[in-house]
Every structure is written in structure tokens, then in C-alpha cells.
Amino acid sequence: MTTSTASAVPGSTQSLPLAPRPGDRTLGPATEQGLYRPDVQHFSLVGVIWDNPDTELHGQVQVRTRETAGGHWTGWQDVETHNQEHAADPGTAERSSGRVRGSTAPLWVGDSDGVEVRVRADGEGTTPTTRAPLPAGLRLELVDPGTAPADPAAPTERRTRAMGTSESESEPESATEIPALNRQQTEEEARKLRTEEAAQGEPQEEAQGESQEEAQQERRAQPYIGPRPRIVTRRGWGADETLRERGFVYTKKVKVAFVHHTASGNKYWCSDAPALIRGIYRYHVLSSGWRDIGYNFLVDRCGNIYEGRAGGMTKAVRGAHTLGFNTDSMGIAVLGTFGSSKPSKSAVGAIARLTAWKLGLYGVNPNGKAYLKSGGGNLYPKGMNVRLNAISGHRDGFATECPGRLLYEKLASARKTAAKYQGR
């Protein structure tokens, strides 16, 4: 039976249970499951979820879809199965909410109305009995991102605001973007921000490994900051603010920027990026069970930068992007998959511009190093102080392929460029 989540708001999520595939005659949990539905409601993004977020799916997930325009079926496409490393830290309220599920990465397929999926467990040998069982509760998620109320690509409709730091649940922001500033304007806004923060007090969590006084001194002495880039706001990409949890969670500062890829494929136009982000947002919240989209910022292949998790673009908002290292860090996800495809120069340049500005707000040299305390993961035990590049790849904090080999190789260039933007 097809179920639709949050049908009263734009967009929808169809959640369909998988069943054992013909030929799987194992006794116990099935090692091959699938689904064929040629008659579903329109969707543009797919993923597979399961009950236990601590269980990994060791196997292969493939989908093919029918295009709404023309009715043609695509070939089989691989879905990235290892998505558990993109998650809230162990022991946090977000992780232990009871709503979190295991999930693959989402795959962008474009407007579709038919789908077939097959899931096969890894294992030696050719018979099902030699393979490990699949996780319990496998379901196919079909996400329709809906239509955004605002179009950030239409200049006549753009509305801007000065800093984008005064997000309020009772007073939603109406701006679709914040504009780029030159260095002088950026420094003036940074001074204003520090004054406001001094008057309002610090966010709720203290920085790990330093005193509150040391953190305040570092924020006051900021000789280097890159010019603020143009950023499309949540309203600009059409975020439905009724989906996410109310309230925000902050850490003390931002010391490291982790770069990711969304593993959602490269078959999108830049004009599709707002819809793709809306799809990822719905998938993270309604399918994976997170409080909001996991990343703090997203970047498309044209170099456009998008606000991610709500709470203030200048603030140290805790995300769910790098398991074990979401405190005192931010996550930047480039839309696409970069294991065998090169990221665009525009995307790498956007990473440099964004980190030069955001890390500069916290007195961090993008070409330097910083210590983060591990919250637990598969590379570093909980409580261990780990020395990381200020601009790191996801794989530096967790054993994963993310952000893809070809994007990871570009991070050294991004560090040097970001430092130059800061005037170092």
C-alpha cells in the first residue's frame, strides 16, 4: 500500500515496503528484496530506508525509473548504500529521538511515475545461503520535492536581507538570498555581529578543549576574513519550515569545515538544484528521521551556494553530516557524485569562497589545522582529540568514500584559495 507523508504541504513522500525477490528461498531474513511499481505518483528522488540506524546495509541497491515525459524506462542505476556516516553524533538528542532510521544516500532521477528496485546482500558464493541478511524493514522512499513558493533564479523576484542571521520561528525570513559583500562591508558586518553576540551571550554549548574566555578573545581578534559570498536562503530554495523540528542547536564555534558530496548523481541542471535540495531535505527529515537537513550549506555545479540547516548562517549550528564530529564544525555538501566524475571549477571555487568567509568569522585559517574531539565513529574513539585540516573531507573523520576521490583531491587547492581570499 502506498502511503503519503505530510500530504497537506507541498511535496510528498511515498513509502513502499520491499518484498523478497523471486528465487530467494533462504530460511530466515531474505537476502534479495525488491519492488516493481509502474503506477506511482510523480516523484523525482529515491532512497531506501530500514528500521535500525545502527545496522549497515552490506549489499547493492539498484533502481530504474520511468520518465514522466515520454514514458521511457531508464537503465539500472546504483544507489550509494553507505550513508550511516552522515548522521547526528551518538548520544545527542537528535540521534536518540527514536525516529532515526538507517538509510541509503538519496538519488535524483528527475520527474518519474514508475519505479523498480532490487536490493541484494553482499557475500561470497552464488547461493543466497552464503550471504548476510539484509536489514529489517526495508522500504523504498519516493520523494516529490514539490514546487517552491519562490524562484531564486528570477532576478525580478529576488529579495535580500543584510546578514541572514536573525532567523526566528515566529518571524520567518522573506529574503530569497543574501547578497555578496566586498571585504570592507564584510568586516563591518562581522564587527556588528560580534557586538550583537556580546550583548546576547554565547550559544548554549561551550567549545571543546578551551575556556569560554579563550573563545571570546579569539572571536574579538579576527584580522582575516574573506568577503561574504552570495547565498541562496532556505526560502530561496523553497524549504517547507513545517517539516523540521522547531528550535535550533548550537555549538561554541566553527573550527573545521567538512566537505561532502550528496552521492545523489550528476544528472541535474543547476535550475534543478532548489528542487534537489528540497528532495534531500524531505528525505533527511521524513525518511531518515533527522531534525532538519543534515548539511549546513550546499553547493551546485554552477557554484551557487545554498543555506542548509536552519539556525543562522553565521552561527555555529550543529548539523548531522559527519558522524562523531558535528560539534564545532560545519558540513558543506556539493550536489553530485565524485568518485569517477570531476567536480566543476565553479563548485570548488564556491567551497573556497564560503570557507574563507565562514571560517574567518571564527578566526580560523582555512589552510591551517584544528583539533576536534571525537564523539565516536569508526576511525577515532569517543573522546579522542583529533588534529584535522581546517577544510577536511568527510573521509578524514570517518572511513568512507565521501566526498569522492576526485573532489577530495581538489581540497588542497580550495584551502590555498580560501586563505588568499582571507588576505593571508
| 411, 325: one domain | yes
| 116, 163: one domain | no
Domain assignment present for residue 359? The answer is: yes
Last residue of a domain, one of 144, 172, 189: 144
User: In this structure, what C-alpha cell is assigned to residue 401?
Assistant: 568514500
CATH code where residue 130 lies: 2.60.120
Last residue of a domain, one of 121, 144, 167: 144
| 234, 96: one domain | no
| 267, 293: one domain | yes
Determine phi and psi for 281, rounding to 5 degrees.
-60, -50
| 161, 295: one domain | yes
Per-residue pLDDT of the chain (424 residues; tens, 9 = 90+): 344 444 334 799 999 999 998 765 554 556 899 999 999 999 999 999 999 998 989 999 999 999 999 999 999 999 999 766 778 888 889 988 889 999 999 999 999 999 999 999 986 544 555 567 899 999 999 999 998 764 444 333 334 443 444 443 333 457 999 999 999 999 999 988 888 877 776 554 444 444 455 555 455 555 799 999 999 999 999 999 999 999 999 999 999 999 999 999 999 999 999 999 999 999 999 999 999 999 999 999 999 999 999 999 999 999 999 999 999 999 999 999 999 999 999 999 999 999 999 999 999 999 999 999 999 888 899 999 999 999 999 999 999 999 999 999 999 999 999 999 999 9
CATH code where residue 205 lies: 3.40.80.10
Q: Give DSSP secondary structure letters for 198-225.
A: HHH---SSPPTTS-HHHHHHHHH-----
Q: Which value, to the nearest 10 degrees, does the dihedral of the CA atoms of residues 160, 161, 167, 170 take?
A: -80
201-to-165, 205, 209, 312, 352 alpha-carbon distances in Å: 15, 11, 20, 15, 30
| 26, 101: one domain | yes
Q: Give DSSP secondary structure letters for 224-260.
A: --PPPPPEE-HHHHT--TTTSPSS--B-S---EEEEE
Instruction: Determine the Cα–Cα distance for residues 307 and 317; give it in Å rounded to an integer.
Output: 12
| 123, 163: one domain | no
Q: What is the DSSP letter of 72?
A: P
The residues, any chain, with a CB within 8 Å of residue 357's CB and separated by 6 or more, are 186, 225, 226, 227, 228, 229, 421
Domain assignment present for residue 150? The answer is: no
Residue type present at position 275: A
Domain assignment present for residue 178? The answer is: yes
Show the domain range for 375.
155-421
Angle of helix 345-361 relative to helix 411-421, nearest 10 degrees, comes to 50
Last residue of a domain, one of 123, 144, 165: 144
Position of cell 518519474? Answer: 112
The three-state secondary structure class of 303 is coil
Among 70, 350, 410, residue whose Cα is nearest residue 227: 350
| 161, 287: one domain | yes
Number of domains in the chain: 2
Q: What is the pTM of this model?
A: 0.88
Domain assignment present for residue 149? The answer is: no
CA geometry: angle 135, 137, 143, nearest 5 deg: 110
Domain assignment present for residue 394? The answer is: yes
| 238, 387: one domain | yes
- Which neighbouring-strand residues pair with 115? 37, 65
| 288, 357: one domain | yes
